[in-house]
Amino acid sequence: MPTPDAASSAPHSPPPARPAGYAVVGLGQLTLEEILPAFALCTHARPVALVSGDRGKALPVAREHGIDEDHVLDYEHFGDLAGLADVDVVYIVLPNHLHAEYTLKAFQAGKHVLCEKPMAVTAEECQRMMDAARAADRQLMIAYRLHHEPFNQRMAALCQEEALGPVKTIMASNCQVTKAPDIRLQAGKGGGPVSDTGIYCINACRMVTGEEPESVVALAHQPKDNPDFAEVPESVAFLLRYPSGVIAHCETSFGAAESRHLRVHCADGFIDMEAAFSYQGQRLQLRRGSPTSGPASTEELLLKPVNHFAAEMDYFAACALANQPPRTDGEMGLADVRIIDAIEQSLREGGVVRLQA
């Protein structure tokens, strides 16, 4: 039978005295369907500005969310954010290859930045983003929303507590069908399944182990008869080895039916999470023991779900207004980009690639 669990969101900064104003940059599907609607569920964050290349598209969206028309900017006038005193945070929701450019511009405008993942296309861009944050004395957070999601938080805590004994292996799968035209299928713009969906597996393994991998090896399939995958692989599988001895098997695909599953094998059982990387629908189960070694039991933990985006934006609102570093900072974003680089190196060259400590 499912067991209620009292776990709640991880501790946040003290609630701010006022809501933080967000400027959302980019009006793609994620912004329109998830991020902007989530503001209605926020306590400490509110939308006050939009940046879009299509003013005709942006104005009705602004009216729907109570944003003043004079706070709708195009990219040519992005720097005008500096003069909008009610904008505290700039949320970068642009294609991967534009993350660094507009993060730097937001810091030049004196704003804090919440940037979608992956942080950038290269490690060098990540470093420039962090340097710019320090120079501006502003905060940079990477939008790893699952760090604010109770089921993922609880799984990480169970593993750190060794609730079922030490972690031995991890299996993470994040697959979906992606068809052209889609910018995620363009290699030159930071596309591909590893940076888009595989990064969830990479980051989940860090949450579970609390470690950085020491080596990686990867294989990919890029069908030659499907023009959708002329530039990026359809599917990639990769192994990560951690200093403790934990081995993670991860797989991601743009050509497989949706599957977002995380399983952690421990010495005394395993922990399963369905819909682990989805926007909603997470289910968390613990399996203790084994039928071959004695009585086994399965327990489902019932947690109160949250809107991931609202929780994330409320959290960073508190960090920004207090000018305090967030948990999912630029260092975490850089670490994931370095792992993605190592995966791509393994695909190019074959064999195991060691990551620097």
Residues marked as catalytic: 117, 200
- Indicate the pairing of strand 72-73 with strand 2-4: unpaired
Q: In terms of Cα–Cα distance, which of 197, 181, 169 is closest to 257?
A: 197
Asked if 167 and 159 count as a contact pair (C-beta separation under 8 A), the reply is: yes
**Distance between the two ends of the chain, CA-based, in angstroms?**
43
Strand partners, 91: 24, 114
Q: How far is Cα 324 from Cα 300, in angstroms, rounded to an integer?
A: 36
Q: How far is Cα 40 from Cα 218, in angstroms, rounded to an integer?
A: 41
Q: What's the length of the chain? A: 357
Asked if 29 and 5 count as a contact pair (C-beta separation under 8 A), the reply is: no
Per DSSP, helices labelled H in the chain are 29-30, 36-38, 55-64, 99-108, 123-136, 150-160, 193, 199-209, 308-322, 330-349
- Indicate the pairing of strand 45-51 with strand 20-25: parallel
Asked if 12 and 40 count as a contact pair (C-beta separation under 8 A), the reply is: no
Strand partners, 247: 169, 241
By three-state DSSP, how is residue 172 classified? strand
On the 0-12 / 13-18 / 19+ scale of CB atoms within 10 A, 150 is: buried
